[in-house]
Amino acid sequence: MKNILLTVEYDGTLFSGWQRQPQRRTVQGELEKILSLVCRCPIQINGTSRTDAGVHALGQRASFKGDFGIPTDRLLIAANNLLAGGLNTSGRVGDLRILNAEEMSADFHARFDAKGKKYIYQILNEPELQIFSRNQYYQVQKNLDTDAMRAAAAHIVGTHDFKCFQAAGGEEKKTTVRTIYALNIVEKKTLEGKRIVALEIKGDGFLYNMVRIITGTLVEVGLGKKKPESVADIIDGKERQQAGHTAPPQGLYLAKVYYDLEELVEF
């Protein structure tokens, strides 16, 4: 019996999220279908994050067990060929790809052994809307004050009860206390010179829609609708309605899953 850990990237635009759903195309469902064909036995995978429809991943992790003979390196090649359309054509890629596959110990579990995650949220901050960026960015047309956003972000870093940043409808959690190890506001330019404001956030865990609500709150700070110091009061108040709007899914990327605590907490 093999226990395989996958590292996966995907464009979430045409997926109904990660978790398998009847009659809907999901990342988990597609991977299980392809891996079952390649391994010639039923495969069920366990992912670290149940990303929503439209959310992307640069480094989602998932594990599965099975009694199959195909070598792990060949499994990756065969699965990616099928995910790209099965044409054995170089240069062809679909919207879902396995980046790495490695054999782990029998007791390893991709979700339960994870120490934390890193998300990136990308905002295209330009006065004119960009049609070809609509599935990759949250487009904010008014200028964002990134200094104010950084001042607000400083109140989020640390261990807090983040109930104010939790949306209704998610899985019930035993506690809403989480630790955010870093929250950086990074400015950069596209090749065409367009302004991008990216939030890079690392933590030991995230509540339902937490990153998107943090982003919406910081955007409102950047637009002058909220004061940077108000974020501390919002966290202390634990009221969802006091925080900002929920930013759309298109700008959100699951960047990395950490299994080494030291790597997670380093800055």
CATH of the domain at 222: 3.30.70.660
Residues 3 and 106: beta-carbon distance below 8 Å: yes
Q: How many Cα atoms sit within 13 Å of 87 on the Cβ side?
A: 8
- Could you tell me the residue range of the domain that residue 94 belongs to? 2-103
Q: Are residues 59 and 136 in the same domain?
A: no
CA distance 51 to 116: 15
CA distance 160 to 157: 8
- In this prediction the pTM is 0.95
Q: Are residues 239 and 142 in the same domain?
A: yes
Q: What is the pLDDT of residue 222?
A: 98
Q: What is the pLDDT of residue 88?
A: 60
Residues 110 and 46: beta-carbon distance below 8 Å: yes
The stretches in the chain having pLDDT less than 70 are 87-91, 267
Q: Are residues 136 and 99 in the same domain?
A: no
Q: What is the pLDDT of residue 223?
A: 98
Residues identified as active-site: 52
Which of 41, 71, 103 finishes a domain?
103
Q: What is the pLDDT of residue 169?
A: 80
Residues 110 and 63: beta-carbon distance below 8 Å: yes
**At 74, which CATH number?**
3.30.70.580
119 is in an annotated binding site: yes
- pLDDT, one tens digit per residue, over 12-47 is 999 999 999 999 999 999 999 999 999 999 999 999
CA distance 247 to 218: 10
What is the total count of domains within the chain? 2
- pLDDT, one tens digit per residue, over 98-110 is 999 999 999 999 9
Q: Which residues lie below 8 Å from residue 19, measured CB to CB, with a gap of 6+?
A: 26, 28, 47, 50
Residues 210 and 165: beta-carbon distance below 8 Å: yes
Q: What is the pLDDT of residue 89?
A: 57
Q: What is the pLDDT of residue 170?
A: 73
